[in-house]
Structure 1
Amino acid sequence: MSRCDELGQCSSEPGRITRLYLDEPMRAVHVRLSEWMHQAGLSPHVDNAGNCIGRLRSQTGEKVLLVGSHLDSVPGAGRYDGVLGVLIGVAVSEWLAGCDLPFHFDVMGFSEEEGVRFKMPYLGSAAVAGRFDPEWLLREDDKQTSMREAMASFGLSPDELESCRYTPSEVIGFVEPHLEQGPVLERLEQPVGVVTGIVGQSRLQLAFRGEAGHAGTAPMSGRRDALVAASAFVQTVRDTALSIDGLKATVGSLRVCPNASNVIPGVVELTLDVRHLADDVRRYGVDTLVDAGHSLAEAEHCTFEVLEETAQHSVNADARLMTMLSDTIKECHGGPVLLESGAGHDAAIMGQVFPMAMLFLRHPGGVSHHPDERVELNDVATAIEVLGQYVLRLASDFSQHESA
């Protein structure tokens, strides 16, 4: 917990936690995390995607179990989102001291999950999973720095990202400990739970285009006000999500141009985030909202455009790993809680390539991506014990299968 506090001091903004992909605070995190990994018996290194990875080396096995989460944050974040899962992995390494596992144990500190700096999430886990698209290197941040330039400035080799990749044949599985970021475990008074699956997610960059004009001289009738169309769209997003069971849809960012008090908005660019556990329902929601955008734009004599759309499919947890995690919780604490994840995680990328499981921790208040983010000390202790016992259970099962 004190280590979470210490990493919370690594921020690009005074007074609040903001840590983006390959910024200087991330370098400071790597230094501290590498020290703690070394103390826990792990051999740390930073790969060419900026992931900080520590290995507890097996003397007898060649395959590897991956455990971890992400190190970056949203602007104004809490201390535990992502970071807690990495540090739980380090603590489990200490817990396993003296055990010769039949496989390597790699603690993963993914460099980027939130997608803030380059408007593209899961960069770190995509590289590990072999899903990194080289075209992403051309993306630019708000300061017109390309991803390629950022990697080079950080001391990485963007042309050697293939070196980050783990192959499915060598990976036993990936396990991500993480705050629930929701209220279920708190309501059930349970410290930890097992994730059954991660919802699919669509992220869109949209634009309404009208015509700027003088706020005092342009008649109200006949205006092509892009913000009026965009405002109606925001309300439509909310109403549509309420009308479809389980759908989450959010407009989280708007950029108004020219953004002056006495000028009619000519262009509004905005984001749309749509999520659902069923991919067909999510796609229906996206199609419905895009159609609505065109209709609302036409009503205001504007145009509507989809500038970019990315999507992550829903991912189910691996049945075997999930069952073993449930059995471990039952032995350590009592009956496990099974729940889906409404938030995206690195496990969604890793689960497309490797067997995946997630361990959720109770999140008092359920407030995440915010300084009020909380976790209880005893729940963290429970998670470390559960994950440590889980690794030993996997080791025993692995040895039995290998000998058979």
Structure 2
Amino acid sequence: MTTTATTTATGRAATAAARVMARADELGAISARPDALERTHLTPEHRRAADLVGAWMGEAGLAVHEDAAGNLCGRLEGARPGLPAVLLGSHVDTVPDAGRYDGMLGVLLAIEVARGVRPGELPFALEVVAFSDEEGTRFGSALSGSRALAGSWVEDWWGFTDSDGVTMADAFAAYGLDPSRVGEAAREPGSLVAYLEAHIEQGPFLEEADLPLAVVSSIAGARRFALTMTGRAGHAGGTPYERRRDALVGAAELVVEVERIGRSSGVVATVGRLQAFPGGVNVVPGVVELSLDLRAADDAARDAAWVRIEAAAERIAAARSLRFGATETYRADAVACAPWLRDAVRAGIDAAGAPEPLALWSRAGHDAMVVAGVAPVGMLFVRNGNGGVSHSPDEIVAEADVAVALDAFAATVAELAHRFESDDAARVASDEDRTPEDRT
């Protein structure tokens, strides 16, 4: 991207930011519910949103197509047709009762960056993707859109059902997709130079620092467990304390220990669900089921926290004559953003005239963590106001922050173009210094 293109992008940022905000409102109105935003994978609402985003991609000069997994893709060729692409994007599906910016802001910013690029201007192709299913709300298939693109589709998903009993395979067919062709969504090795994702922070740190943008260092390594404490149910009035094997008291003690370990280790440790059985108000609980979600900037810290939690649970169970059990239900290893892309994002933020950014690790999962299987990834965080709340209608971003983010995102692409042009020049110079015999 030339200096002129970058200057143009900077000059149009306010207008573009207003357009992004208005379009986020348009997408936010496409919902399966009249009282809240809910737009899930392969639904009529998904189709309406995809059609709208596709029209915006086309208006920005991109050649648009829908891939075999329902991801919407737009492409702008580089200096010559068929070059590997820098891919920009995020997702358009939502959780129930969602906000208007999670995922959608990244897609809209990517479209605006593409709008400011002339065909043939870059030393690589520029692509925009709107992933179809990041949240996994409908089928429990989180990140399935990006997994299809990365060639890591999970075959077991075809049998997963939604709340109405519809399988994912049937939903694909109803949407106009052929389940047998989902493999065609996978990108060829070497076809992507890098993936860049802009996303709201989904946390309070930028707001607390009064900064609009951050460079993402890594995406959390997460593990989830289904835990049980098993004791013996008994009559609340008739069972003396010294004879109780109260599973709920043991579980409650474990919940407090989970928080203590999380705080002391810097790992995010959460018990989000706890259910006691048989559940009578006058019955000592015999079994308690609870969930555990562990997230950390790196896998070693996450795994060390689990070792401590498991040891604490066994100790509590032994002291109270209980039995502890654990089953791992989910694992996603941490993904580090490529250092050279982190540098490019930081340079883009600096070129946009924004203050020195924070470096933050993402405590939430993102499509980038899957795309990392086929390309280096980088991420830009945008300040999430209102205390950093997300997955909520209270989600909010400021238009001024969107304008700065747009400038920074465009400048990041320009920085990558400059680096690629410099690398090509260096390779040519090196080649010219060699003898014809050396080149063979």
Structure 1 residue matching 2:258: 3-state secondary structure = helix
2:197 touches 2:379 (CA, 8 Å); kept in 1? Answer: yes
1:321 touches 1:356 (CA, 8 Å); kept in 2? Answer: yes
CA distance change for structure 1 residues 305 and 400 in 2, over 3 Å: closer, same or farther? same
CA distance change for structure 1 residues 101 and 296 in 2, over 3 Å: closer, same or farther? same
Residue 271 (structure 1) aligns with: 291
1:193 touches 1:359 (CA, 8 Å); kept in 2? Answer: yes
**One-letter identity of the residue aligned with 1:380:** V
Matched, 1:43 2:63: yes
Structure 1 residue matching 2:392: 3-state secondary structure = coil
Residue 161 (structure 1) aligns with: 182
1:315 touches 1:352 (CA, 8 Å); kept in 2? Answer: no
CA distance change for structure 1 residues 233 and 73 in 2, over 3 Å: closer, same or farther? farther
Q: Would you say how many aligned residue pairs link Structure 1 and Structure 2? A: 402
CA distance change for structure 1 residues 74 and 265 in 2, over 3 Å: closer, same or farther? farther
1:199 touches 1:342 (CA, 8 Å); kept in 2? Answer: yes
Residue 92 (structure 1) aligns with: 113
Equivalent of residue 366 in structure 2, options 345, 352, 358: 345
Matched, 1:315 2:351: no
Gaps of 5+ in 2: 1-20, 429-440
Equivalents in 2 of 1:117, 1:63: separation in Å? Answer: 33
Structure 2 residue matching 1:309: 3-state secondary structure = strand
Give a deviation string over 1:134-178, Cα, whole Å, max 9, x none.
Answer: 233334444544433333333323332221111341111000001
Gaps of 5+ in 1: none
**One-letter identity of the residue aligned with 1:355:** P
CA distance change for structure 1 residues 308 and 139 in 2, over 3 Å: closer, same or farther? farther
1:118 touches 1:140 (CA, 8 Å); kept in 2? Answer: yes
Deviation at 1:102, TM superposition (A): 3.1
Identity %: 38
2:99 touches 2:392 (CA, 8 Å); kept in 1? Answer: yes
Deviation at 1:81, TM superposition (A): 1.0
Matched, 1:12 2:32: yes
Matched, 1:378 2:400: yes
Deviation at 1:297, TM superposition (A): 5.0
CA distance change for structure 1 residues 287 and 54 in 2, over 3 Å: closer, same or farther? same
The two structures have a TM-score, normalised by structure 2, of: 0.81
Give a deviation string over 1:213-258, Cα, whole Å, max 9, x none.
Answer: 7x678746656655444333322221221222x1110122345566
Equivalents in 1 of 2:130, 2:275: separation in Å? Answer: 32
* Range with greater deviation from structure 2 (366-375 or 221-230): 221-230
Residue 220 (structure 2) aligns with: 199
Deviation at 1:121, TM superposition (A): 2.6
Structure 2 residue matching 1:273: 3-state secondary structure = strand
2:77 touches 2:125 (CA, 8 Å); kept in 1? Answer: yes
Matched, 1:127 2:153: no
Equivalents in 2 of 1:238, 1:251: separation in Å? Answer: 9
Matched, 1:105 2:126: yes
Alignment of 1:3-402 (within 5 A): 3-58=23-78, 60-61=80-81, 62-97=83-118, 100-208=121-229, 219=239, 226-244=247-265, 246-255=266-275, 268-296=288-316, 303-337=323-357, 338-364=359-385, 365-402=387-424
Equivalents in 2 of 1:304, 1:60: separation in Å? Answer: 61
Structure 2 residue matching 1:20: 3-state secondary structure = coil
For the pair shown, the structure with the greater C-alpha radius of gyration is: 2
Deviation at 1:299, TM superposition (A): 5.7
Deviation at 1:16, TM superposition (A): 1.9
Equivalents in 2 of 1:290, 1:153: separation in Å? Answer: 45
1:194 touches 1:336 (CA, 8 Å); kept in 2? Answer: no
The two structures have a TM-score, normalised by structure 1, of: 0.88
- Answer 1 or 2: which has greater helix percent: 2
Structure 2 residue matching 1:76: 3-state secondary structure = coil
2:86 touches 2:127 (CA, 8 Å); kept in 1? Answer: yes
Deviation at 1:267, TM superposition (A): 5.1
Equivalents in 2 of 1:212, 1:12: separation in Å? Answer: 43
Deviation at 1:271, TM superposition (A): 2.6
Give me the CA root mean square deviation.
2.8
* Range with greater deviation from structure 2 (251-260 or 34-43): 251-260
